[in-house]
Amino acid sequence: MSNTETVPCPSAYFRGRVLKSSAIRVSTLFNNGRCCRRSDLDSKRVLTPLYRLIYKHNTGWLQPGYTSSMPELKTLPDYLAPGLEIVSIGLNPSLPSVREGFYFANPRNRFWRALNESGLLAEQLVPGVAAMDVLLKRDRIGFTDVVKRPTAGAHDLRAADYREWSPLLLQKLEKYQPKIAWFHGKQAYANYLKHAEGIKAPIAWGEQSHCIGPARVFVTPNPSPANAAYSLVVLTDWFRQLQEFRETR
């Protein structure tokens, strides 16, 4: 299995420079010296492939059938298969993870340390691409994300990202039917529920009343270093509770 994956990316390019989302949020954009008002974009009166890409980048809209000249998005592959015990679901891939080719690759991320002490594994693993295959085949733990677009942080995600990717996550879970869908963080689960199933509900840690197909849902704190409010000890305890939850399924 490749440790990277490319999918169509709606990033917009203008005069050789990538337009950042902050640069797109201006009242006017220019097309060969002519002004294109933001209202034209909002009403989808888009005259060039450039504006199709800009609009897709900022809102999630793309004209049906338009695929030419779209840059590829480098992201993490899904590790999914039928008959999995657990599917780990992060918010979205981090840039270090995409660069290294495996999930939770940031050395400051507590995921691997908590996982190795949780009882979820037959034997402890050294973080890396090879460990991903072992988790899938030996421990029957798969991996994916709510949003597959990598960012430097969760604050860089837009509502359009959740609208685009959350329904795809639902399709994956319905297809592979794991026993447990394991969400890392309330933000990940809440945005999945809102944009894939149209549900808004309070979320507590641990087991959820809602199921995704036959999969029971379990939510633990995000192990990201940005979530410093939860210590490694606390995270490890939640991972152990997930193992106990798995044993009751």
Paired with 224 in beta bridges are none
* CA end-to-end distance (rounded Å), the chain: 29
Please report the sign of the dihedral spanned by the C-alpha atoms of residue 143, residue 148, residue 152, residue 153.
negative
Q: How far apart are CA 65 and CA 119, in angstroms?
A: 48
Predicted structure pTM score:
0.74
SS3 189: helix
Q: How far apart are CA 246 and CA 114, in angstroms?
A: 16
Residue type, 126: V
Please report the sign of the dihedral spanned by the C-alpha atoms of residue 236, residue 240, residue 242, residue 246.
positive
The token pair that represents 189 in the structure block: 């689960």
The token pair that represents 20 in the structure block: 């950042």
Q: Mind listing the pLDDT tens digit of every residue in the chain (249 residues)?
A: 456 565 544 333 333 333 333 333 333 333 333 334 444 444 433 334 443 444 444 444 333 333 334 457 799 999 999 999 999 999 999 999 999 999 999 999 999 999 999 999 999 999 999 999 999 999 999 999 999 999 999 999 999 999 999 999 999 999 999 999 999 999 999 999 999 999 999 999 999 999 999 999 999 999 999 999 999 999 999 999 999 999 987
The pLDDT of residue 71 is 53
| pLDDT, tens digit (0-9, with 9 covering 90-100), for 8-34 | 443 333 333 333 333 333 333 333 333
Q: What is the Cα Rg of the chain in Å? A: 20
The pLDDT of residue 157 is 96
The pLDDT of residue 4 is 57
SS3 174: helix
Are the C-beta atoms of 130 and 71 separated by less than 8 Å? no
Q: Give the residue range(s) of CATH 3.40.470.10 domains in the chain.
A: 76-247
Q: How far apart are CA 88 and CA 141, in angstroms?
A: 7
Q: How far apart are CA 63 and CA 44, in angstroms?
A: 9
The pLDDT of residue 73 is 79
Q: How far apart are CA 105 and CA 94, in angstroms?
A: 8
Q: How far apart are CA 220 and CA 155, in angstroms?
A: 19
The pLDDT of residue 249 is 73
CATH topology of domain 76-247: Uracil-DNA Glycosylase, subunit E (3.40.470)
